[in-house]
Structure 1
């Protein structure tokens, strides 16, 4: 049950990050889950675990890290498409 909840929270955070950054992620739900989990890792490394936490994910650092990850993906895909 813990893994399923972790994936759901990661998906929601990835989806919110893609909405805030204004960039649709490739691969739909799977892309949102990956973005949320990678963003949680980035946010945890940069900002720690402050703020509310749910399913082992600190929500605010994970959201900030996911937004940074989405913006990084946008830059990389723009460079590669030229």
Structure 2
């Protein structure tokens, strides 16, 4: 395990927490859930930035922004899917 993997997990944790806070989600997924949401959000955000050819955001802060935006999109999609399933 390199230091890059540790940063990836920490960025995922921060992005998941920020996304949950931004979406005003009262229920917590816990630390592990926030990491999973943040890591998946990083993948979604990175993919979207590539598809739309958005300027690359390098560094730690740029990675956090991309991961957080991706996590917000992911949480929004989950919320919409959950509402459709209930209806």
Query: Do they fold alike, i.e. is TM over 0.5?
Result: yes
Q: TM-score range by the shorter chain?
A: 0.7 to 0.9
RMSD: 2.1
Higher strand share: 1
Q: TM-score, normalised by structure 2?
A: 0.75
Report Cα offsets for 1:33-65 as digits up to 9, x if no partner: 0111111111111114622422xx722222111
Q: TM-score, normalised by structure 1?
A: 0.78
- Select the structure of larger CA radius of gyration: 2
Q: Where in structure 1 are there 5+ consecutive unaligned residues?
A: none
- The answer on 1:50 being equivalent to 2:50 is no
1:52, 1:59 within 8 Å by CA — same for their partners in 2?
A: no
Match for residue 60 of structure 1 among 46, 57, 65: 65
Q: Where in structure 2 are there 5+ consecutive unaligned residues?
A: none
